[in-house]
Chains A and B, each alone.
Chain A
Amino acid sequence: MASDVVLLGERSEIKPRPRKESRGIGLGRFALVTITFFTFAFLYVPIAVLIAFSFNSARTGATWQSFSLQWYERVFSNTRILEAAANSLIVAALATVGSVVIGTLMAIAMERYQFRAKLAWDALLYLPVIIPEIVMGISLLIFFAAINLSRGIVTLVISHIAFCMPFVYLTMRARLADFDRSLEEAAQDLGADEWTTFRRITLPLLMPGIISSALLAFTLSLDDFVISFFVTGVGSQTLPVYIWGQIRRGITPEINAISTLMLLLSIVLVVVAQLIQRRQRA
C-alpha cells in the first residue's frame, strides 16, 4: 500500500540521464539485462497470464484453447457480480467524497493553525496508515457490534472513510506545505473575504492535490479486501469480497475476466487523473 502512495500521490519528475555509448556486451551489462528482465517478468507475467486466460475458451485455467469473450458475457449477465460491482463503486464513491472532504479540511487546519499538542494530533491522523489492516478490520467489527450497527453499506462506507482519510491527509499536507500564503493575502488585499478567497484562490490551486488524493482514496477503497471482509454484510458484498468467496470454489475464467476489468478501471483512473493534472500544469 505504501508504494501506491508514492506512485499516485507524487508524480516523480526524474529526467533520464544522458546515455553513454556502451561497447560490446560486458559481464556487467549482461547482469543488468538479466536482472531487468526478471524484475519485469516478476511484475507483469502473472498479470499477463491472468489477462490472457480471461480470453481463453477453456473451462479450466491450465491450458489455452481458443480466443473467446464468453467469460466477459458471463460476468455481465451474472447479477451477483454486477451487484457486488455496484456495491464497490457506491462504497468507493462515498468513501472518496467523505475522506477527501475530511482529510483536506484536517490538513488545512493542521497546516494553518496553532493549537495545543499539535504533534500528537498529527501523529494520530496518520497512524492508521501503519496500523495492520487486519487489526483495523477486527476493531471496526467489534466497534460496530458494540454500537449495534448492522453490517452493510453504511459500515463499509464508514470503515473505508476511516482508512482512506489518513492517505488524503498526508497527500494534502505535502501540497499545502508548498502553498504560497501570499496568494491568499493578495486576494484579501483585493477585497475578497475569507470564503471567497477559499473558493476562488485556495481551492482551485489545491485542485491537483485534491484530485490525486481522491484518486488514491478511490483506488484504495475499490481494491480493499481485508477490512471490507470484516465489516461487510449479507447483500452488501464488494467485488473483492465476492471474488474471494468464489475462489474458495476454485478459480474460474470468470474471475480472470472480473480481475481484468478491475485492472482496466484502475489504469483508466490513473490516466484520467494524470491528464487532468497535466492540463492544470500547462
Chain B
Amino acid sequence: MPEAGALSEFAVELRDVSKVFGDIVAVDHVSMGIRHNEFFALLGPSGCGKTTSLRIIAGFERPTSGEVYIDNKPMGNTPPFQRNVNTVFQSYALFPHMTVEQNISFGLEMKGVSKAEIARRVGEVLELVRLPHMAKRYPRQMSGGQQQRVALARALVNRPKVLLLDEPLGALDAKLRKEMQIELKTLQREVGITFIFVTHDQEEALSMSDRIAVFSKGKVLQIGTPLEIYERPTSRFVADFIGETNFLTGRVTQVDGEFAQITTNGGATFRGRAMPGVRAGIEATLSVRPEKVQLVEQPDDSVNCYEVVVRSIAYVGSDTRVVVMLGENRIDVWEQNTISTLDPNYFFKPGERAWLTFKPENALVLAE
C-alpha cells in the first residue's frame, strides 16, 4: 500500500473496481492507471461500462468493490464535491438559471475564491475557450458548440488535477465535432491537465488520445496507444471494434518465434504475427486489415498468396474497395489509388481472377 499523497506515476488509478446494479455487472474488475497529463480515452460500445467507470472516478457512483485512487489517495466514500476532479457532462448540464459568467464562477465561489480573483480567472478561461463576449448570455441563448465550450470552461477554471469528459462531443454535428476534436486536443496540451475522455467513436479516440482503454461488457480488454490498439489488437473484439478488418478462422498449425501459421477452414494456410495465447493446435482467428492486403495479377512466391475471385468493386476516390472471395470466405481489400488514371481497365472487374497477398508481419493470429 503506497503512502497517501506520495508521488505516483498515475493521476488516477482504478484497482480491481467493480460496479453491480441489481443483477447487472456494469463494471467488471477493472484495473487501469491514467498517467499525469495524459489524454486517456475510455472507448467502447454503449453499455460497456465506460461511462459508469467515469462516474465512479467522479464520485457519482460508489464501486461495489475495488478502489479508486486520485493522486495516490484512496477515494473511499469521498463525495464528488471533495474530489479534485471536474466533469464535462454529455448534456453539458449548464445551469439554465445562471449566465455563462455565473456558471463558470460557481466552482470558484464554492472554494471561497475572492471576487476579484474569480473575475480574473473567468475572464481568462473565456479567452481560452474563445467566448470572451458571451459572459452575460444565458446557456439557452447559445449554440450547441458554444454551450460545449462553456461546459469546458466551467470545469477548467477550477484547475482540476483531472478533467473527466463524458462523450462531450456527442451532441454536435459532424463538422463541428471535427473542429472541437482538434480544439480539445490543443487545449489539453496548453493547460497540461489529465483528460479522461469517454467516447464510442473509435476515430475520435484514435486521433485524440495518448492511450486508449477498450471496454466491452464491463471489462477492459486492452489498454494501449492508438498505434498499439490498431496495429496490435490482442483480441478479436478489439480488432473488430477499431477500424475494419478481415477475419479468417482456423487452427494454428505451427508457432515459431514471433509468427504463427494458421490453416483456415477453407484449407488455405497463412502466416501472421502470433498474438498472446496462441499455441499450436488451438482454434484461432487470422485478422488482416483491408488496406494491408494487395491484389496482383500474377502469383508471387510469398507465403500468403492465394487465388481469389473478384466479387465487387467500389471506387471511392482515395481508395478502390474490392471484395474478393477466397473459397467461401469474403475478404475486403482497399487499394489506395496512388496513380491518377481515367483508364477503366486499370481496375479489376467483378468475376475476374486475381491473387491476394500480404506480408506475415501485417497480419495477426488471435487466440480466439
Are B95 and A185 in contact (CB-based, < 8 A)?
A: no
User: A196 vs B59: C-alpha distance in the bound complex, in angstroms?
Assistant: 17
Q: A188-B81, A189-B87, A191-B158 are in contact. Are A205 and B97 (CB under 8 A)?
A: yes
Are A189 and B81 in contact (CB-based, < 8 A)?
A: yes
**B110 contacts the other chain (Cβ, under 8 Å)?**
yes
Partner of B89, one of A182, A191, A193, A200: A182
Q: Give min CB distance, B130 to chain A, whole Å.
A: 22
User: A187 vs B96: C-alpha distance in the bound complex, in angstroms?
Assistant: 12
**Chain A residues touching B, range:** 10 to 19
User: A212 vs B12: C-alpha distance in the bound complex, in angstroms?
Assistant: 46
Q: Give min CB distance, A195 to chain B, whole Å.
A: 11
Are B110 and A190 in contact (CB-based, < 8 A)?
A: yes
User: A280 vs B86: C-alpha distance in the bound complex, in angstroms?
Assistant: 29
Partner of A183, one of B60, B87, B93, B155: B93
- A186: chain B residues within 8 A (beta carbon): 87, 89, 93-95, 154
Q: Give min CB distance, B283 to chain A, whole Å.
A: 45
Q: Which residue of A lies closest to B164 (CB)?
A: A189
**B306 contacts the other chain (Cβ, under 8 Å)?**
no
**A21 contacts the other chain (Cβ, under 8 Å)?**
no
User: A186 vs B95: C-alpha distance in the bound complex, in angstroms?
Assistant: 9
Q: Give min CB distance, A200 to chain B, whole Å.
A: 8
Are B97 and A185 in contact (CB-based, < 8 A)?
A: no
Are B107 and A190 in contact (CB-based, < 8 A)?
A: yes
Are B154 and A190 in contact (CB-based, < 8 A)?
A: yes
User: A204 vs B87: C-alpha distance in the bound complex, in angstroms?
Assistant: 22
**B111 contacts the other chain (Cβ, under 8 Å)?**
yes
Which secondary structure characterizes the binding site on chain B? loop
Are A192 and B81 in contact (CB-based, < 8 A)?
A: yes
- B95: chain A residues within 8 A (beta carbon): 183, 186-187, 201
- A13: chain B residues within 8 A (beta carbon): none
Q: A182-B89, A186-B87, A186-B89 are in contact. Are A193 and B97 (CB under 8 A)?
A: no
Are A190 and B158 in contact (CB-based, < 8 A)?
A: yes
User: A188 vs B86: C-alpha distance in the bound complex, in angstroms?
Assistant: 10
Q: A183-B95, A205-B96, A205-B97 are in contact. Are A188 and B89 (CB under 8 A)?
A: no
**B362 contacts the other chain (Cβ, under 8 Å)?**
no
Are A191 and B87 in contact (CB-based, < 8 A)?
A: no
Are B79 and A189 in contact (CB-based, < 8 A)?
A: no
Q: Binary interface profile of A, 174-208, with partner B (CB < 8 Å = 1, else 0)? A: 00000010110111111111001000110011000
- B259: chain A residues within 8 A (beta carbon): none
Are B111 and A191 in contact (CB-based, < 8 A)?
A: yes
**B58 contacts the other chain (Cβ, under 8 Å)?**
yes
User: A187 vs B154: C-alpha distance in the bound complex, in angstroms?
Assistant: 11
Q: Give min CB distance, B271 to chain A, whole Å.
A: 51
Q: Give min CB distance, A130 to chain B, whole Å.
A: 34
- A193: chain B residues within 8 A (beta carbon): 79, 81
Are A182 and B93 in contact (CB-based, < 8 A)?
A: yes
Q: Which residue of B lies closest to A182 (CB)?
A: B93
- B59: chain A residues within 8 A (beta carbon): 188
Q: Give min CB distance, B215 to chain A, whole Å.
A: 21
**B106 contacts the other chain (Cβ, under 8 Å)?**
yes
Are B91 and A191 in contact (CB-based, < 8 A)?
A: no
Q: A185-B60, A185-B80 are in contact. Are A190 and B93 (CB under 8 A)?
A: no
User: A185 vs B151: C-alpha distance in the bound complex, in angstroms?
Assistant: 13
User: A193 vs B59: C-alpha distance in the bound complex, in angstroms?
Assistant: 13
Q: Which residue of B lies closest to A185 (CB)?
A: B60
Q: Binary interface profile of B, 88-132, with partner A (CB < 8 Å = 1, else 0)? A: 011101111100000000110011000000000000000000000
Are A185 and B93 in contact (CB-based, < 8 A)?
A: yes
Residues on A facing B (Cβ under 8 Å): 180, 182-183, 185-193, 196, 200-201, 204-205, 280
4 interchain residue pairs of minimum CB distance:
A191-B110, A190-B107, A186-B93, A182-B93
Between-chain CB contacts (< 8 Å), 11 pairs: A180-B93, A182-B93, A185-B87, A185-B93, A186-B94, A186-B95, A186-B154, A188-B60, A191-B111, A196-B110, A201-B95
